[in-house]
Amino acid sequence: MTQELTKKLLQEKFPTREAITTEIINLQAILNLPKSTEAFMSDIHGEFAAFDHVLRNASGNIKIKIEDLFNGRLTSKNQQELAFLVYYPSQRLKIIKKNFAQAEDLRQWYLDTFAQLLELLKYCSTKYTRSKVRKALAPEFVYITEELLYGDFASTDKQNYYAQITTDIINLKSADQFIIALCHTIQRLVVDHLHVVGDIYDRGPHPDKIMDRLMKHHSVDLQWGNHDILWLGAAAGSPLCVANLLRICARYNNLAIVEDAYGINLRHLSLLAEKYYQDNPCFAPKLNPQEPKPSNAELSQINKIHQAIAIIQFKLEGQAIDRRPEFKMQDRKMLEKLDKHQQKITLNGQSYPIVHGCFQTVDYQHPYQLLPQEQTVITQLTQAFVHSDKLRRHMDFFMQKGSMYLVYNNNLLVHGCVPVDEQGNFEGLTINHHLYCGKELFDLLEDNLRSSYADSHQSTDLATDLLWYLWTGPVSPLFGKRAMTTFERYFIADANTHFEKPNSYYQLRHQSQFITKVLHEFGITDKTGHLINGHTPVKKGHSPIMADGKMLVIDGGFAEAYHQTTGIGGYTLLYNSYGLQLVTHQPFTTREQAIKQLSDIVSTKRVVEQEVARKTVAETDIGKQLKQQIQQLEELLATE
């Protein structure tokens, strides 16, 4: 916007000296408020209930606020009761109300609870302007809540007035509604902004519900994870992404997401699978012990679909690698390494027996050629993904709020890694004779992703192929490993062939000098900067804090299948005016159990960094914008 235009708009908005001065005073006041709380999560992997729980308990922050406020006044059991009322107000109200035989006792409980919730709300809103708090209140209770929140209870007249308001709320049968509204406001104010550092999709059953919930969130940004790319790629018309995501859905017994949530018909794939495949133990789906077990017929159908789509994937991969020599993935053309009888495979000069092969549609002479039926099925499926309205809505949101990386309040957020060689030099991808590495690599990949998404008719152009590269390419910042050994994991028993060599980044990220270099590359020169990654579950006995606290790994550990490796649920991060805090979560069981037994999954909280002085809004990115606005207003005042 030109300076002239900005000035004109400001003049229209603030037509008098008084209006300008008032606005300057307002903005200055905001700059001095404490920095609001950011929360970071990652690797949610379709686990809606656990994710929803962490949102409701604000990464454990609500419990801490209750402790701060009520220690010495409420027992820890009563604090826990109050916390769960705030997390799950409607459900907890149903349970609590059953405890009261006498109407009078329930009335007393309402009065006590109003007082506790209002006190808590007041405590949680001290960081915000009144106008911001107002926006977070339920419209039907704004007036009443403000009266009760900012009222002066000292004088008797006033006390009577407030008593009348609370009595009316109960008598008019609005008490439950009022409590629910207060609880939602508290949930909302405790975390001001949420970052999701990738991998919302795959493995767990309800990524669509997570997206719906995020779309209603008051303030969120997303960094794309490698699994999310498969779904973005599917909506962008990439058959390779479609094949990969369907394979993973079959592997985790999650095809319902595709059929029921996104309305994509799998009948033709199923017919193809029935025609060519038999049950194969290598393709039995991983079952979630908490979900009902599918029937044998269903298991057999999923098993065959799993094989059919895996073979389509391996064929399409061979074609893409031939089409894109610049991806340098020739060694991942697997089907041509099979012997004539498809019983053995030669990798790096060594021969391995094939176990449970299912290559009946693979022609030894032309291994990457799809059968006409396979071609029809994958083309139709890709069209179905492109045309799914619900998927488009979710992916539009992903495009709007998402990015390959984000620089926010001096922190760099990236799902996987910044690819480097062993010496720590940025590694890259050469496209049209230009080597893209470091930040330039991220920008190249994001530009291509956006153009591919905007044109879903193309299925084999460079931009669409780069989407698949992001999933599995040797220098993909979202994947971070040399190769994805999916083929070996299905068909070769020798576990040595399953190893996926991580990028040197994962060694080097323990060194603070290296992290400083990476942060510089992305324009963060302030010493207080951090790099925040998701993607790699933190194994038992390993620390998520590296490089003198500059590097933090916050794999949320939501994925059920990974609990064995981590021993805990995972980590989330909070960044408030006092500094950064890492929150450890225990594995979540079920929503019902949490609500009934008041079982919270937050266990400990480790202070990563403590600010010497409390951080104010002035020191944040928003603060920078506000200072700019103040300067413009001051200039306007000078010309008045």
| CA dist., res. 181 & res. 117, Å (int) | 10
Question: What tokens appear for 10 in the block?
Answer: 């400001």
> With CB cut-offs between 5 and 8 Å by kind, which of Mn ion, ligand FBP, none does residue 35 bind?
none
Between residues 439 and 481, which has the closer beta carbon with respect to ligand FBP? 481
Q: Shortest approach of ligand FBP to residue 537 CB, angstroms?
A: 8
Q: Which residues touch 289 (CB under 8 Å, ≥6 apart)?
A: none
Adjacency order of strands within the sheet including 193-196:
402-403, 220-223, 193-196, 38-41, 570-576, 579-585, 602-610
Q: Shortest approach of Mn ion to residue 442 CB, angstroms?
A: 16
State whether residue 37 is helix, strand or coil: coil
Bridge-based pairing of strands 411-414 and 570-576 is unpaired
According to DSSP, residue 425 is labeled P
- Taking CB under 6 A as the binding criterion, the range among 11-19, 93-101, 481-489, 614-622 that sits at the site for ligand FBP is 481-489
Q: Shortest approach of ligand FBP to residue 637 CB, angstroms?
A: 53
Between residues 57 and 313, which has the closer beta carbon with respect to ligand FBP? 313
How many CA atoms are closer than 13 Å to the CA of 5, on its beta-carbon side? 2
Between residues 221 and 500, which has the closer beta carbon with respect to ligand FBP? 500
Q: Can residue 481 be called a binding residue for ligand FBP (CB under 6 A)?
A: yes
> With CB cut-offs between 5 and 8 Å by kind, which of ligand FBP, Mn ion, none does residue 304 bind?
none
- Alpha carbon 622 to its chain centroid, in Å, reads 22
Q: Shortest approach of ligand FBP to residue 205 CB, angstroms?
A: 15
Which residues inside 10-69 make contact with ligand FBP, applying CB under 6 A? none
According to DSSP, residue 479 is labeled T
> Are 516 and 495 spatial neighbours (Cβ–Cβ below 8 Å)?
no
Between residues 92 and 585, which has the closer beta carbon with respect to ligand FBP? 585
> Are 83 and 66 spatial neighbours (Cβ–Cβ below 8 Å)?
yes
Q: Which residue ranges make up the site for Mn ion (CB under 5 A)?
A: 199, 225-226, 535
Q: Shortest approach of ligand FBP to residue 227 CB, angstroms?
A: 6
Q: Shortest approach of Mn ion to residue 143 CB, angstroms?
A: 47
> Are 58 and 602 spatial neighbours (Cβ–Cβ below 8 Å)?
no
Between residues 89 and 205, which has the closer beta carbon with respect to ligand FBP? 205
> Are 614 and 34 spatial neighbours (Cβ–Cβ below 8 Å)?
yes
Between residues 415 and 530, which has the closer beta carbon with respect to Mn ion? 415
Question: What tokens appear for 225 in the block?
Answer: 């994870």
> With CB cut-offs between 5 and 8 Å by kind, which of ligand FBP, Mn ion, none does residue 484 bind?
ligand FBP
Return the percent helix, strand and coil in the chain, to nearest 5. 55, 10, 35
Q: How many residues bind ligand FBP (CB under 6 A)?
A: 9
Q: Shortest approach of ligand FBP to residue 290 CB, angstroms?
A: 18
Which residues inside 242-261 make contact with ligand FBP, applying CB under 6 A? 251
Between residues 440 and 500, which has the closer beta carbon with respect to ligand FBP? 500
Q: Which residues touch 115 (CB under 8 Å, ≥6 apart)?
A: none
| CA dist., res. 443 & res. 272, Å (int) | 40
> Are 344 and 352 spatial neighbours (Cβ–Cβ below 8 Å)?
yes
- Helices marked H in 277-421 — which ranges? 296-323, 372-387, 389-401
Residue that is written with structure tokens 């790699």 in the block: 536
Among 484, 519, 532, 626, binds ligand FBP (CB under 6 A): 484
Between residues 271 and 561, which has the closer beta carbon with respect to ligand FBP? 561
Question: What tokens appear for 140 in the block?
Answer: 């039907």
Residue that is written with structure tokens 């928003």 in the block: 622
> With CB cut-offs between 5 and 8 Å by kind, which of ligand FBP, Mn ion, none does residue 486 bind?
ligand FBP
Which residues inside 507-546 make contact with ligand FBP, applying CB under 6 A? 535
> With CB cut-offs between 5 and 8 Å by kind, which of Mn ion, ligand FBP, none does residue 56 bind?
none
Q: Tell me the residue nearest to Mn ion as measured from the CB.
A: 535
Q: Shortest approach of ligand FBP to residue 482 CB, angstroms?
A: 10
Among 176, 500, 609, 611, binds ligand FBP (CB under 6 A): 500
Q: Shortest approach of ligand FBP to residue 207 CB, angstroms?
A: 13
> With CB cut-offs between 5 and 8 Å by kind, which of Mn ion, ligand FBP, none does residue 500 bind?
ligand FBP
Which residues inside 593-622 make contact with ligand FBP, applying CB under 6 A? none
Bridge-based pairing of strands 428-431 and 434-437 is antiparallel
- Alpha carbon 109 to its chain centroid, in Å, reads 38
> With CB cut-offs between 5 and 8 Å by kind, which of ligand FBP, Mn ion, none does residue 92 bind?
none
Between residues 114 and 487, which has the closer beta carbon with respect to ligand FBP? 487
- Taking CB under 6 A as the binding criterion, the range among 144-152, 188-196, 211-219, 480-488 that sits at the site for ligand FBP is 480-488
**Helices 103-124, 142-150: crossing angle, 10 deg rounding:** 80
Q: Shortest approach of ligand FBP to residue 485 CB, angstroms?
A: 6
Q: Shortest approach of Mn ion to residue 555 CB, angstroms?
A: 8
Among 486, 503, 566, 620, binds ligand FBP (CB under 6 A): 486
Between residues 227 and 509, which has the closer beta carbon with respect to ligand FBP? 227
Q: What are the backbone angles phi and psi of residue 235, rounded to the nearest 5°?
A: -70, -25
| CA dist., res. 539 & res. 246, Å (int) | 28
For 173, the enclosing helix (H) or strand (E) is none
Residue of 101, 103, 85 whose CA lies nearest to 93: 85
Name the site residues for ligand FBP (rule: CB under 6 A). Answer: 199, 226-227, 251, 481, 484, 486, 500, 535
